[in-house]
Each structure stands twice: as C-alpha cells, then as structure tokens.
Amino acid sequence: MKKALIWIVVILAILCLVGAIFVNHWADTGHGRLNYKVAVILKFLSLSEDDGSENGSRPSVAESRKRLLEKVEKFSSVPVTVKRVINQKIPGPAVDIPVRIYIPVESKSLPVVLFYHGGGWVQGNLDSHDNLCRYLSVASNAIVVAVDYRLAPEHPFPAGLDDAYAALVWVSENAGSFGGDPARIAVMGDSAGANLSAVLSLMARDRKGPKIARQVLVYPSTDLSRLDNDSYSYFGKGFMLTKANIEWFRALYLPNKDNWTDPYASPLLADDHGHLPPATIITAEMDPLRDEGKQYADKLKKAGVSTNYHCYKGMIHGFVSADKVLNQAHEALDEIALDLKKSF
C-alpha cells in the first residue's frame, strides 16, 4: 500500500511538472507573457472552437451572435444582485431603443453610467453584458443604463451611433424619472462600445449636447482606417480577437470605405481632442487593439484631457467579461468604479 501511494505521488508530480512545462510554453508569446489562466483558456478554445476567420468558412452573422452569448456564459460569474432592474424602450431616431436600467439602491439622485456593449457593432445585446453592468452598478453606486443600439449589417454606420447619442440625450432629459441625476452622467463601453463612447464624447462637445462627466473606454477601437500597428502584427491571430475578425466587423459596420476615416467612426483621427470629458482607458497587453487604445490616451493627454490609462499585463481582449476565472476582471471594474466616483 505504501509503495502504491509513493507511485501515485510520483506520477502526480510528473504530471504537474509536464503540465507546468506546457503552460509555460503556451504563455510565451514572443512579445510578452500571457497570464497562465489566459494561456490555458486560449489553448482549450483553440482546440474546441474555430470561427473560420482564417480559412474563409466563417459562420453566419446569426451564428456568430449566438457563439458570443455562449462564450460569455462560460466565463461570467453568478450575477450580482441589484435593488431593481427596469427593462423598457425609449424613443430612437428610427425605431424605439431597448434599454436596461440597473438601480443599485433606492435613491432620488444617483449618478448615471450609460453603457454600450461590445461585439464589433455586429454582436452583443443587453444579455451579453448583464453581469458586467450589474457589478459596475454596485461597485460605483451608480445607475447603469445599458443601451441595445442597432447592429450591423442590418443597420450599418451611423445607425448604432445615432441610437447611442439618442440614448444619451434621453437620459439627460429623463434621468429623474428613474432616480438619476442628469448633472452626473458618464459614458462607458467595451471594444466597439468603447468606440461609441469615445465618439459620443466628441459629438456631445461638437453639438453642445449633454455634459459628460467621464468617458470610460475598455479596449477601444479608435482607428478603423488602418489595421497595421505593432499590436496587430504581434497579436492579430490566436489571441481571441483576431485581425480577420476586425476586418469582418469593419466591412459590415462601415461598408463604405470613405467612412473609415470619419472621426465619428475613427475618433483617433479627430482634428481636435480638447475640451473632452476626463477619460479612463483600459487595454489588454495581448490585444490587437492595444496600441490604438494607448495612442488615444496619448492624444487626450496631449490635448489637456485628464486621462487614466492602464494596460493590464498578460491579458487579452474581452478579459473584463471573464470574471468567473480572471481576478483582473474585477480589478479593472473596481478601478473604473473608483474613477467614476471621483468624477461624480
């Protein structure tokens, strides 16, 4: 019996050593090291999933939307409880816009965060970012209004953006109806939603629209005119979001190539970044969008905009939604919540 136990221990030790060697190899990207949990996740996803982006057999838009929701379900934790959730529709420029309002506590005057989900302007909805919005609402003690803007390819640029701006105006005019303070409004989004949030900040300034207390941009897309910087070269394949994915999203959202350089599609290209709301910009080290997020932070700082920039080491695109397995997801949201409280 004693010999058998010794052999079991030896075999387990060998398996752990071999596993550690494999994980160490997976974590080495040649341009930095992945977090070991992220390295394992990517390896298993590569074995179990293939979106066809590299071989021309890409799934349909409907299937891609379904897969995003399935992936979110795998990596999102149990939803945080908030005091009240309101699902309703608000007037839009073309059709009514569904919104979901998260109220953390009953109050007559809480700050409001307008949240725009990611998904390449093609995927995502109110359910795909429900957990994130709940956590953010409680952590920041703010009402979160998630906006289900119209998606491409059914509704290409600028339909989704028009909905996003209409929701901002509606909240500024109706915040009191659900306990919000119209004088304390922030905008936030991840990926494509971060792009919309950055553009909304430009639009609100240009149109003398609602005052925005803070813009929170989580791994934002800021320049769709070119997809050729270092982070695209290093991490454009094999790190969750691929360059091929982004090219597909761009083709659906911006079918007219002339719009690629429009500052309301590529906010990095705006002539003037002054007089914009204070910004929090979060990027992931192994994300093809990393460099343009940093470039946007640099542009804002140069223009005199107070900007908190944080690149999360070893992380990939989408990590903030993977709070079931990544502590960094909560760290990023807590950092955001702290910045929001300071702005409010």
Whether 139 is covered by a domain: the verdict is yes
Whether 55 is covered by a domain: the verdict is no
Residue 45 in tokens: 């996803």
Task: For residue 223, give its domain range.
Answer: 61-343
Q: Are 141 and 103 part of one and the same domain?
A: yes
Q: Are 264 and 326 part of one and the same domain?
A: yes
Whether 241 is covered by a domain: the verdict is yes
> Quick one: pLDDT at residue 195?
98
Say if residues 342 and 212 touch (Cβ distance below 8 Å): no
Q: Which residues form the catalytic set?
A: 191, 287, 317
Number of domains in the chain: 2
CATH number at residue 213: 3.40.50.1820
The series of mean pLDDT values per 10 residues for the chain, 344 residues long, is: 56 46 62 91 74 67 95 91 97 98 94 98 97 97 98 98 98 97 98 98 98 98 96 96 97 98 98 98 98 98 98 97 95 98 96
Q: Are 276 and 169 part of one and the same domain?
A: yes
> Quick one: pLDDT at residue 37?
94
> Quick one: pLDDT at residue 56?
58
Give the three-state DSSP class for 115.
strand
pLDDT tens, 322-343? 999 999 999 999 999 999 999 9
Per DSSP, what are the bridge partners of residue 110?
Answer: 180
Radius of gyration of the chain (CA): 21
Q: Are 96 and 226 part of one and the same domain?
A: yes
> Quick one: pLDDT at residue 146?
98
Calpha distance 220→216 (Å, rounded): 9
Residue 208 in tokens: 């003398």
Whether 330 is covered by a domain: the verdict is yes
Q: Are 145 and 14 part of one and the same domain?
A: no
Q: Are 227 and 248 part of one and the same domain?
A: yes
The set of residues, in sequence order, having a beta carbon less than 8 Å from that of 102 and lying 6+ positions away, is 82, 84, 85, 133, 134, 137, 143, 144, 145, 146
Q: Are 170 and 305 part of one and the same domain?
A: yes
Whether 53 is covered by a domain: the verdict is no
Q: Are 261 and 142 part of one and the same domain?
A: yes
Q: Are 31 and 67 part of one and the same domain?
A: no
DSSP labels, 228-273:
-SHHHHHHSSSSSS-HHHHHHHHHHH--SGGGGG-TTT-GGG-S--
pLDDT tens, 187-200? 999 999 999 999 99
The set of residues, in sequence order, having a beta carbon less than 8 Å from that of 146 and lying 6+ positions away, is 99, 100, 101, 102, 115, 116, 117, 126, 129, 130, 133
Element (H, E) at 309: strand 307-312
Element (H, E) at 68: helix 61-75
Question: How much of the chain is in helix, strand and coil states, percent to nearest 5?
Answer: 45, 15, 40
Q: 86-91: which pairs have CB atoms within 8 A and are 24 or more residues apart?
A: 86/178, 87/126, 90/166, 90/167, 90/170, 90/174, 91/166, 91/170
Whether 56 is covered by a domain: the verdict is no
> Quick one: pLDDT at residue 12?
47
Q: Are 32 and 89 part of one and the same domain?
A: no
The set of residues, in sequence order, having a beta carbon less than 8 Å from that of 317 and lying 6+ positions away, is 191, 219, 239, 240, 241, 284, 287, 288, 289
Q: Are 12 and 111 part of one and the same domain?
A: no
Q: Are 29 and 91 part of one and the same domain?
A: no
Whether 54 is covered by a domain: the verdict is no
